Amino acid sequence: MAKDFISNINNAVPVEEEDKILLEGSHDGIQELDNPLPPWWTYFFAGCVLFGIGYILYYHTFGIGSLQTVEYEKEVAIAQAKKEELLATKYAKINENTVVALADATELSTGKELYLGKCASCHLKDGGGNVGPNLTDENWLHGCDMKSVFKTITYGVPAKGMISWQTQLNPLQIQQIASYILTLKGTTPAKAKAPQGEICAK
Amino acid sequence: MDTQNLETFHYDNTSVRNFSIAVMFWGVIGMLVGLILALQLVFPSLNVASFLSFGRLRPLHTNAVIFAFVGNGTFAGVYYSLQRLCKTRMYSDLLSKINFWGWQLIIISAVFTLPFGYTSGKEYAELEWPIDIAIALVWVSFGANMMLTILHRRVKHLYVSIWFYIATFVAVTLLHLVNSFALPVSMLKSYSVYAGVQDALVQWWYGHNAVAFFLTTSYLGLMYYFVPKAANRPVYSYRLSIVHFWALIFLYIWAGPHHLLYTALPDWAQSLGVAFSIMLIAPSWGGMLNGLLTLRGAWDKVREDPVLKFMVVALTCYGMATFEGPLLSLKNVNAISHYTDWTIAHVHIGALGWNGFLTFGMLYWLFPVLYKTSLYSKKLANYHFWTGTLGIIFYAIPLYWAGFTQSLMWKQFDEEGMLVYQNFLDTVTQIIPMYGLRAFGGLLFFIGTLMMVYNLYKTAKQGTFAPDTEAKAPALMPSHEDGYWHRAIESRPIQLLFLSTIAILIGTVLELVPTFLIKSNVPTISSVKPLTPLELEGRDLYIKEGCNNCHSQMIRPFRSETERYGEYSKAGEFVYDHPHLWGSKRTGPDLAREGVVTGRNYKSNDWHYKHFRDPQEISPGSIMPKYTWLLENKLNASQTKAKINAMRTLGVPYPEGYEKEQAIKDLHQQANEIAATIKGAESDREVIAIIAYLQRLGTDISKKETLEEK
């Protein structure tokens, strides 16, 4: 049965009758049959060739399909729109114009945790400063009030090496970190980096 | 047959036996190195010395399996079958000897250069330029020996195996010569003459077609001889062999760019790679069908005979791999599979299943013939078959799982549009158990191979080897053509060689030439400047240590990648990269924007220093080897001058005379600056150079954001 099936779909001459299609001559004893091309294979091949031609026409000749950079821009635009919507709804009240420092202990401890994970490599665990400035002293480069700190974390200061965190942290998390950072003011770090920027009253 | 005109001659069995022994010897070595590499991914502490570290050993594994194991397999099979198909001895015993010993010397030189960091950095073509020249010479002596044998044949028509052998010879010669074109700096150091996008295209035109012609057409030729021989059945369809032969060699050569989908390679070249890969499925399957259908009426034998069992699995794996390959070439599938272990699983279906099992089947058939005896133990061969088959399964399935899992983790965003697995390492530790299972699969396969070596050793011992086999055949007389049109080509080997060359040149020329000549393919970025002398030395160390075996430098235009790594890579960023270092696998994270200070992955000099010393201390769970020797070895700057000169010759715009004094001054100054930022570091160590290079990566473009088309 299986044998018949295989012979049928391949349009093969049955094994018993293959003498009829045995080609003359042999190569070191190897003989060749002259079975026809399996029809499904021929159509499949033709189909693949048509696909290949169609592919080039679709993407290049007629320019219907989007090539990679266009594809990318679309993907980013969708994500951007989604993000803006999120900022306008869920995080509507947490932006650089409205944000306020949190005082709740659990919020601050979340902030601390995030700070240790994201900020400590440059500002040290106790905020004493290393690659980044000291966060415990009176001197600030980009403002010491809640809104300024929130803004600095969100957008970064690329020219000076402070990265923008808005793709890794949501506004609430930035609010938590900024609130925690403000609690460091006046503490005594193990190794304090020399003051940078102006003395900031508020 | 006219008995009066019978000529007596002798087949050379010694070469066949020598190559067969070499197959087993290098097979065992190549697989053992593979096993060590697989274990290193689970236990990074196994990177016990610089010359045994993953980055340096991986090229040895790939070269040993491709060129030593499969290469010797091809020679063994060709030397056996060609003589008998042509009814003549190999044309020149001297050329046969040069072929054998030359090839073994090349492999030995690989063993003594690659682990010590002498590498061109071009994947599957890592051997340095003097060895490349040797490869060309030995390969051509093989080809000359083969063509001269064919020209002195006593049979009019060339059997299908020989068409494949000829195509293999022509294509591999072309691939090797074009891809290896390099400018030497010293005896064991050279720079590819191609840079960036062009180098990547040439490299993958080569890499892909090394698979096509070194691992596929050669073995299809062997298959067409040994399968009907072992099964004692006529080949299923002569017509199918004609159609799939020409279609295969014509189409294959175009498909290289599918290794560079979503990279900075121009879109048109990528699309050609996709389209031609899909067209390739049927011609590839033609070979599988002709092999499997030849076994019609002999399936009862397959149940009994280990030789045929190996061949059936080999053909099945060939069919699977040549179906999977084109699927992986579809851009949406490739977006998931590329840079992951999926690729590694895919190539091992080919290497272990197709090449490995066909080699095993061939050797189990050859040894009893060469030694005029029967196989020592059929039972042991059956054990080998099952151990090997289980080995393939245990190897491939965990890696497919690992590749798919890791890729999805790389791409996963949460509801707020943030990457869920922001730390690359989390996606690595997730798949370590799969790496463990893969190593187990590799171990099974390796044990199976050892069983075969023992079995064939015993077979040889119990038999007697005859260096020559006497045969008789009438001399070839001129006669009229008859039958199929294709018969005319089959009786003219030079024309066949010529037509095969045309077939592979069409795709080659149409893809490579425009990429080199049309400026718009690589838009210039004016802020991209040559590396400083220290960074150049650092880059050479990056190549020496084989960092590109685990780290890519090519960010694809996906949001999941630009969020993780930074701005996607542009063609113009790589114009001075001789060779390109885009990589093909991300065992570790991409490094294309490693130096961008505002990038998510930026690390301080101090961090890099500590991380090279002990990656596990900084990133617990990391599987990167410890590079303590980079902290100990002093940077050898004696070639800096020659390197800058060579780069300038290749078109990298270093100012005239820069190398004379200023370059070394700059090198020391930059090294001092970097060392000053690292606690306890000395400025004259290799690690400083490699840190300098890493901190430069991807930064040029951010200095000036304008793309200028010239």
Work out whether the CA dihedral B285, B291, B294, B299 comes out positive or negative. negative
Chain B neighbors of A48, CB-CB under 8 A: 278-282
Residue B372: how many CB atoms within 10 A of its CB? 11
Task: Determine the number of helices (DSSP H) and then strands (DSSP E) in chain A.
Answer: 7, 2
Query: Is B238 close to A34, i.e. CB distance below 8 A?
Result: yes
Q: Out of A7, A41, A72, whose CB is closest to B285?
A: A41
Kindly report the nearest CA distance between residue A17 and chain B, in angstroms.
12
Residue B53 has pLDDT above 70, yes or no: yes
Chain B neighbors of A4, CB-CB under 8 A: none
Answer whether A58 touches B (CB < 8 Å): no
Residue B524 Cα distances to B218, B478, B699, angstroms: 41, 61, 15
Chain B neighbors of A70, CB-CB under 8 A: none
- Beta carbons of B75 and B19 less than 8 angstroms apart: yes
Per-residue pLDDT of B246-288, as tens digits, reads 999 999 999 999 999 999 999 999 999 999 999 999 999 999 9
| DSSP single-letter state for residue A156 | -
Provide the residue ranges of all domains of chain A, joining segments of one domain with +.
20-67, 105-199
Chain A residue at shortest CA distance from B595: A161
Cα(A77)–Cα(B593) distance, rounded to whole angstroms? Answer: 23
**b (16+ CB within 10 A) / e for B75-111:** bbbbbbbbbbbbbbbbbeeebbebbbebbbebbebbb
Residue B35 has pLDDT above 70, yes or no: yes
pLDDT category, B3, cuts 50, 70, 90?
A: low
Mean pLDDT is lowest, of A198-202, B250-254, B481-485, B561-565, for: B481-485
Tell me what pLDDT residue B482 has.
66
Chain A neighbors of B600, CB-CB under 8 A: 163, 167-168
Chain A residue at shortest CA distance from B471: A28
Q: Residue B189 in 3-state DSSP?
A: strand
Tell me what pLDDT residue B481 has.
64
Query: Is B239 close to A35, i.e. CB distance below 8 A?
Result: yes
Share of chain B above pLDDT 70, in %: 98
- Residue in B241, B179, B171 with CA at minimum distance from that of residue B212: B171
Looking at the DSSP bridge assignments, the partners of residue A22 are A33
- Beta carbons of A123 and A129 less than 8 angstroms apart: yes
Residue A43 has pLDDT above 50, yes or no: yes
Backbone dihedral angles phi then psi of residue B138, each to the nearest 5 degrees: -65, -40
Kindly report the nearest CA distance between residue B66 and chain A, in angstroms.
29
Chain A residue at shortest CA distance from B570: A69
Backbone dihedral angles phi then psi of residue A157, each to the nearest 5 degrees: -130, 75
Chain A residue at shortest CA distance from B569: A69
Per-residue pLDDT of B433-465, as tens digits, reads 999 999 999 999 999 999 999 999 999 999 999
Looking up tokens 């049109």, which residue turns up? B485
Answer whether A67 touches B (CB < 8 Å): yes
Bigger pLDDT: A199 or B640?
B640
Q: Which helix (H) or strand (E) covers residue B191, if one does?
A: strand B189-192
Per-residue pLDDT of B642-680, as tens digits, reads 999 999 999 999 999 999 999 999 999 999 999 998 989
Average pLDDT, chain A: 89
Query: Is B271 close to A168, i.e. CB distance below 8 A?
Result: no
Chain B neighbors of A12, CB-CB under 8 A: 236, 293, 296
Q: Out of B161, B282, B604, whose CB is closest to A48?
A: B282
Residues 5-44 of A with CB under 8 A from B: 6-7, 10, 12, 15, 18, 22-25, 27-38, 41, 44
Bigger pLDDT: B246 or B701?
B246
Q: Out of B236, B262, B483, whose CB is closest to A33?
A: B236
pLDDT category, A185, cuts 50, 70, 90?
A: confident
Mean pLDDT of B690-699: 96
pLDDT category, B707, cuts 50, 70, 90?
A: very low
Residue A122 has pLDDT above 90, yes or no: no
Tell me what pLDDT residue B17 has.
97
pLDDT category, B705, cuts 50, 70, 90?
A: very low
pLDDT category, A129, cuts 50, 70, 90?
A: confident
Tell me what pLDDT residue B491 has.
87
- Beta carbons of B54 and B40 less than 8 angstroms apart: yes
Kindly report the nearest CA distance between residue A19 and chain B, in angstroms.
10
Kindly report the nearest CA distance between residue A38 and chain B, in angstroms.
8
Chain A neighbors of B16, CB-CB under 8 A: none
Residue A158 has pLDDT above 80, yes or no: no
Q: Out of A45, A76, A82, whose CB is closest to B282?
A: A45
Tell me what pLDDT residue B708 has.
39
Tell me what pLDDT residue B516 has.
86
Kindly report the nearest CA distance between residue B557 and chain A, in angstroms.
6
Answer whether A69 touches B (CB < 8 Å): yes
Query: Is A72 close to B557, i.e. CB distance below 8 A?
Result: yes
Bigger pLDDT: B524 or B667?
B667
Bigger pLDDT: B516 or B546?
B546
- Residue in B312, B418, B402 with CA at minimum distance from that of residue B357: B312
Q: Out of A32, A76, A161, whose CB is closest to B597?
A: A161
Q: Out of A37, A60, A82, whose CB is closest to B417?
A: A82
Cα(B398)–Cα(B245) distance, rounded to whole angstroms? Answer: 34
Kindly report the nearest CA distance between residue A146 and chain B, in angstroms.
23
Cα(A160)–Cα(A164) distance, rounded to whole angstroms? Answer: 11
If one looks up domain A105-199 in CATH, what number appears?
1.10.760.10
Per-residue pLDDT of B93-139, as tens digits, reads 999 999 999 999 999 999 999 999 999 999 999 999 999 999 999 99
Residue B709 has pLDDT above 70, yes or no: no
Per-residue pLDDT of B154-187, as tens digits, reads 999 999 999 999 999 999 999 999 999 999 999 9
Residue B219 has pLDDT above 60, yes or no: yes
- Residue in B6, B557, B485 with CA at minimum distance from that of residue B267: B557
Residue B710 has pLDDT above 50, yes or no: no
- Beta carbons of B85 and B473 less than 8 angstroms apart: no
Chain B neighbors of A191, CB-CB under 8 A: none
Chain A residue at shortest CA distance from B558: A72
Q: Out of B262, B272, B297, whose CB is closest to A68?
A: B262
What structural domains and CATH numbers belong to chain B? 3-512 (1.20.210.10), 533-703 (1.10.760.10)
Dihedral Cα B584, B201, B497, B166, nearest 10 deg: -10
Mean pLDDT of B37-64: 97
Chain A residue at shortest CA distance from B472: A28
Tell me what pLDDT residue A16 has.
87
Q: Out of A25, A51, A163, whose CB is closest to B598?
A: A163
Neighbouring C-alpha atoms within 13 Å toward the C-beta of B325: 31
Per-residue pLDDT of A71-103, as tens digits, reads 999 999 999 999 889 888 888 888 888 898 888
Q: Out of A18, A69, A121, whose CB is closest to B557?
A: A69
Query: Is A37 close to B275, i.e. CB distance below 8 A?
Result: no
Chain B residue at shortest CA distance from A27: B85
Query: Is B234 close to A22, i.e. CB distance below 8 A?
Result: yes
Per-residue pLDDT of A49-64, as tens digits, reads 999 999 999 999 999 9
- Residue in B665, B674, B675 with CA at minimum distance from that of residue B640: B665
Query: Is B289 close to A41, i.e. CB distance below 8 A?
Result: yes
This model of the complex carries an ipTM of 0.92
Chain B neighbors of A30, CB-CB under 8 A: 159, 225, 228-229, 234-235
Backbone dihedral angles phi then psi of residue A190, each to the nearest 5 degrees: -60, -40
Average pLDDT, chain B: 94
Q: Residue A38 in 3-state DSSP?
A: coil
CB pairs under 8 A between A and B: 156
Cα(B677)–Cα(B199) distance, rounded to whole angstroms? Answer: 35
Query: Is B416 close to A45, i.e. CB distance below 8 A?
Result: no
Mean pLDDT is lowest, of A29-38, A118-127, B248-257, for: A118-127
Bigger pLDDT: B483 or B44?
B44
Residue B203 has pLDDT above 50, yes or no: yes
pLDDT category, B706, cuts 50, 70, 90?
A: very low
Chain B neighbors of A13, CB-CB under 8 A: none
Which of B1, B292, B559 should be substituted to probe chain A, the one whose Cβ sees the most A Cβ atoms within 10 Å?
B559
Q: Which residues contact B357 (CB under 8 A, 6 or more apart)?
A: B310, B311, B313, B314, B317, B388
Share of chain A above pLDDT 90, in %: 47
Answer whether A55 touches B (CB < 8 Å): yes
Chain B residue at shortest CA distance from A37: B240
